[in-house]
Structure 1
């Protein structure tokens, strides 16, 4: 049940949230908000696997 929820959430994140790897964002120059988005996406991805 939990894994299913995170898989759906990962698909929603992919549609809504920006991809910083495609924009070639430098992590050292990222703002706090961008770092929060990166962290959230990583958390969801890890839990969906």
Structure 2
């Protein structure tokens, strides 16, 4: 299930690494997206 979510995240959610987002200047929404992607990715790998 998490592998499917990880693929959907990859296609639907923005990639802040390519945009070189500074985490100190990130909005709450951007931090929430980063946290969600991290959560799903770590669950998909285990």
TM-score, with length taken from structure 1: 0.91
The answer to whether residue 25 in structure 2 is matched with residue 29 in structure 1 is: yes
Query: Bigger radius of gyration, 1 or 2?
Result: 1
Shift of 1:23: 0.1
Structure 1: 5+ residue stretches without partners: none
- Write out the 4+ residue segments of structure 1 that deviate beyond 3 Å after TM superposition: none
Structure 2: 5+ residue stretches without partners: none
User: How many equivalent residue pairs?
Assistant: 45
